[in-house]
Each structure stands twice: as C-alpha cells, then as structure tokens.
A and B are shown apart, each in its own frame.
Chain A
C-alpha cells in the first residue's frame, strides 16, 4: 500500500516538525516539510503530494497566494490543500475544519485528532 504524501508549508520549523511526527507516527503518510512560502510550489512539483497544508501568514509568500498559484498550475491544480492558520479562531471553525468560501481551514493550535480527521476527510480515507 503506497503511503499518501503530505506537504507541510509553514514558516515555523518546529511546527512543521510536530505535524510531521504526528502524521508519520500513524504509519500511513509520507511527509515533507517546507518552511518558505516561496519554495512551496517547487516542493510540490518535486514531491507530488496528495495534500498540502498551507500556513496563511508567511513572511515571503502567503498561503493564500500559494493556493492561487496551485490552482493556476495545470500540473498541480488537482492537489488538495487546506489552510492551517492562526487567523481564524476555533469558534469560527468549530472543532475540525471549517469551509469558508469553499476553502478548508484548520485553526491553530490544532490537535492531533483534529488534524487526522481533516486529512482523512480530504484524502477520502
């Protein structure tokens, strides 16, 4: 069984590491971290992930812009993505992910259970 690939884009290395450890610990995912928004697209082309988690506010390139570029790229436009952000609050997302304008949002600080639930939902597992 091939593992699903997940790309984590966040300018906070400790956070991408924690996310990776939790995801890898399930034994079901292959995970790659990317801490620069401007590198996100290149990482996506190289890694060919099934799912990308995007931080919204990053110093060089915001997650919302990365998402725009993904959608415009014919090779990458089918990759699923979700925003992982501090800007929305849990009251707005409730538990788990929120759909706002068709986009999926996960509010920081996310719990492992919530993270896995969103992954399963988006990857249809």
Chain B
C-alpha cells in the first residue's frame, strides 16, 4: 500500500460524468495523469498500486482504468487479468500505460482485454484524447446495449403475447428462442428446446420443414398438419418455416406454429349448425312435397269420383244392351265369342272404374276391434287358388300375441290382398310368399320414409307385418314412385295403378305406415307398421254416410 492520495466519491452511481481510475506506483506520474484529465468532465480516482486499484475498482466501478504496467507489488497485466475475471469489474475498459515499447507487450495487453495502449513518455493531450475517445465508445456501447435490451424486451413481449408458437433456430440449427405458445403447442418446456437440435424434440414433418427452410432458403409450410406432441396426443396445426440468413452465411430459421384446434371446433360447430339448417330445409321441403301430394291426391280423388260416375252410366247402357241382345237374338259360334269378349271387356272396364271410386272413397273407415292376422288369413283365402296355380308357396309366421286394435277389416283385407297380388305378379311363377306378423319395439333399421312421415320412432311398440317375395325386386328408380296414383309397372289391363296408392292411404288412415324396399337377398319386402292402439289422429269411423254423399266431398271433410 502506498500513501498516494485517493479520491473517492460518496455515491459513484450518481455521477453522470465518466469515472476514470488512474493507477501508477510513481506519484509524479499520477500527478501528470491527473492534471492532464482534471478540469474536463471526468470523475477521477487514483491508486498507487495493483491491490489498491483492484479494491477501488470493485468498490467504485470506474468506467475506465489507466493502468501502469511496471509496478513493484503487482504488475498491470495481473491487475487487468483480475479485473477481467471479476464479474463486477470485467466490463471496465483498460488502457495500459508503459514505457515498454515492445509490440509483444502491447499485444499481450490487448489479449488480456485492454482497449488501448499509451506509451510513456506521454503527452497529456494524447492521454486526454484517448480517454475521451474511449469514454465515448463506452457510452455508445452502453447506449447500444440498453437499446438492445429494450428491443429484446419488446421482442419478448411480442413473442410472449403471440397466439402462434414461435421457435427460432440459429445458423447451426439449434433452438435460440422459443415463446410460451410454442411450449404449449409442442407440449414441451423451453428448457427441453433451447440450444437443442430440431431432431432432438420435433416430429419428422417439423424437422423436414425446418431443414428445407434452412437448406433451400425459402419459406415452406403446411396448411394443416396433425402434430404429434410429446405426450402422444395430436394437435391440428398450421406450420410455417422461414429462413433467417445473411447473404452467404448458413441460414437459421423461424418456425411458426398455429394451433388450429379452436378453429376446427368453430368449424365443426358451424358444420353442425349448417347441417341442422340443411335438415330443417329438407324437412320443410318434405312437408311441402307432402302438401302438394295431398292436394294432388285430393284432386285426383275428386276427379276419380267424377269420372267413375260419368263412365258408369254408359257402361250400364252397354251392359244392359248386351244382355238384352243375348236374350233376344241367336248367334253363331263366332258371334257368341264376340259377345263373350265384349262382356269380359265390360267387366274389365268396370273393375277400373271401381278402383277409381275406391280411391276417392278410401277415407271412410268402419273401425272394429280386430287382428291383422285375421285380415291376412282372409286375404290369403282369396288368392290361395291362384298362388297354387302359379306354384307359389306361402309361409306364414303370425305371432299369437299381436294385440287386437280398431281396424276397418274390409279395407285392411283390401290392403293385404293388394300386396299379395303385387307379390304374386312380381314372382309370376315358382316362388315363396312369406308373411310374418309380430308385436314388439320398432328397430331403427325398420324406419322407412313413410314410417318416419307417420311419426314412428325407434323403440315404439308396433304391430309389424312383413310381406316378402322372391321376385326380381323393384327398380330403384321406381321405388319413390311406387305409391303414386296411376303408377304401375304391370302390363296393360293387369293393374289400374291405384293399388299401392289406395293401399298406402288405407294404412295411413289407420295411423300406420307402409314402406316397400328390396331385400338384400333379392325380392321385395313390404313392411307395415301399426300402433297397438288407435291414436286420436285416426279419423272417426264413418258409417253408411258415404251413400248419399259424393265420395270426393266425403274425402275432403276427412282431411
């Protein structure tokens, strides 16, 4: 320790002017230095040896040290090394002062972290100029550092607040920064990512994208990617990778990961909403179609009644005329045949007209408690002869526990008769007509279009009648038209086309439904569903009021 004067300032932080520590073991030198800087805008400290210099530096943190090399107890190189070792003193700038004018010494000093070198004997103005220059550099560096820290702060704020995950890769391909969103999306904490290669933590697609961006120096990405996360779950993300590069340096990259799961949820919700809208729209259309259909049926019914009435009188005239001629005249063989043909044609015409009238009349029901099984039996009796002739076998499985309910027995019989005839005509010859009835909960798969329309729901207790044939089935194009009045695939004269239309209307009047579909194994199935009890929606039974009331208006009142 020396007795050289030591100047200290009570609060170094308060001092705005740069603080310079002057270190020399020779007091005369110290004085020269002091005087060359005194009076300028510096705070000056002095030390007369290495130990004192270190102590003052640690305590007062000068900005700059003018450091003599040749000192007896500890030379300037050692002082500089210790300053640079100390965490608090490492950034203090050091300018060496020495009589040594050896290039090797200068280099050694600079290698130790000194910023400059002044050779003794020095001119005070040179010292002042160099100190001023270095203080300016220091100030600028400090400002730059501060600005840098501010920028980093802003950057971090931006990155932290971003919804997108951001991962920065340096030129070596190591993760240099990562934001919280990236941690969340990847499911990995920052410490598992930082300073690691992409290959160490990223799934293959991410690695490849990052590699492409760096190697080809272009922006790449995927609009949608199922990201496999660390915990094995997957997350839909949008991925972008952009190169970060100076012209020739190896490229780093920034990866941007956008979590799409929320968007997907919103999209799914939108889809559901739009599906629901579509369904409502379809239901509305179906309802409209039904209304149109109902209006059509009603007008057809009215027309049918009118036509039937108008045609019946001429038919009656021809019929009675023919009967009369047969009575009063004699005929040869050919004429007899002609008369027979005419009689047959008349009866055919009458059948058609009767169908028309049935159609217009079908809204009046005469309801009495009965079983579908009885109606099936009775209808079968009417076609059994023809079935036998056509070599068509009949199998029946009619459950005994089918509950009785209110039916119009005649009309129900007409329904089954129609269906049996259709099945028979479809099979023509050699087949099996299988009839099954039972009572139980309705299965979802059994819900045909008409059943839905009639308001049946899965699980409803239903009386079920299935009529299967093994004919050629129904042309898919025809299925939707099967129940249209006047739609027929039969040969001319074989059917009026009113059969299934009348059938469905009768079933509907009973609150039931009938759907016809092709069976997977071939042939067609008619499935009829009835509720075990007559619902209030069913029309009131109508007695013989139909006699004096024109059929079409009777129909209208039952709408």
Contacts and interface: CB of A to CB of B under 8 A. Distances in A.
B312 A86 contact: yes
Interface stretch (A33-41, A43-51, A105-113): A105-113
Nearest to A116: B323
A36 to B, nearest CB: 16
Contact of B324 (A25, A86, A89): A25
B327 A22 contact: yes
Interface in B282-334: 308-309, 312-313, 315-321, 323-324, 327-328
Query: Interface size class for chain A?
Result: 20 to 34
A111 B319 contact: yes
Contacts of B312: 86, 108-109
A110 B319 contact: yes
A89 B323 CA distance: 20
B544 interface: yes
Given A64-B548, A109-B312, A109-B318, A22 B354 contact: no
B346 interface: yes
B544 A112 contact: no
Interface string A78-111: 0000000011111100000000110101001111
A88 to B, nearest CB: 6
Contacts of A105: 547
A100 B316 CA distance: 21
B320 A112 contact: yes
A12 interface: yes
A56 B320 contact: no
B550 interface: yes
B291 to A, nearest CB: 29
A109 B314 CA distance: 8
A21 interface: yes
A110 B354 contact: no
B354 A89 contact: yes
B357 interface: yes
Contacts of A86: 308-309, 312-313, 316
A87 B317 contact: no
A110 B316 contact: yes
Given A22-B323, A89-B358, A56 B317 contact: no
Interface of A: 12, 14-15, 18-19, 21-22, 25, 56-57, 64, 86-91, 100-101, 103, 105, 108-113, 115
A-B pairs, top 3 by smallest CB distance, nearest first, are A112-B323, A86-B312, A18-B320
19 contacts: A14-B317, A15-B317, A18-B321, A18-B324, A21-B324, A25-B327, A57-B550, A87-B547, A87-B548, A89-B358, A89-B361, A90-B354, A100-B544, A105-B547, A108-B315, A109-B316, A111-B320, A111-B323, A112-B320
